[in-house]
Structure 1
């Protein structure tokens, strides 16, 4: 059993918002948090404009693939964050649920996705401040 907090990001297609959120949290927190993402109706691939928008901030998500949301993924997460998936996320007692009202980046240009990406980064940083995350190891040297 891990003492690391675990976070699950959920959106409908797992091709945009939840992928960006998971990538930001992994990028910022490293291996101090278990990060998952999933969708209630996953797309075939991550939105290419989302991949490009994340590359602009130095985060490569080209290897990511949309995954189906399972009750097990929710049950094994401490925090479940939904982004526009409504009531499809299974609810388990004792879990923390947050809903981030973010515009869907589907069919949008990179220019239109940048403000969504930046809002997600802000939400992720705020979330990180609220989680019981183990301290960063001190740099050696």
Structure 2
């Protein structure tokens, strides 16, 4: 089985974002580590409370991970960075639930509906600027 573990970059609010994602998907954080926890002298004092790594297991074998971009890491940060996270759900009902939760405070780009290729599908950008695709294909097994 192939698993995809997306790693997201945030401009200092990864804990806020991951608290939101935890409210959507449930579960517990596997890791929450700040830059200060690492004891690095190369990190500015104002960045020591920002997260170096956070991980939230989601479903069967998937882990959503992130970091706060600090110092020179943050120079190229652009909200969204032109990617989508694709979620394949197990039912239309689960699709609606996840889609509605993720889109709260965000932007609906494609409402959940039967797509031209036959999947129940929707797209959105959440309130943190992350692009998502939600899909259910009842023929997939």
Q: Which is richer in strand? A: 2
**Structure 2-normalised TM-score?**
0.29
**Structure 1-normalised TM-score?**
0.29
Highest RCO, 1 vs 2 (Cα 8 Å, sep ≥ 6): 1
Please say which structure displays the higher CA radius of gyration. Answer: 2
Q: Which is richer in helix? A: 1
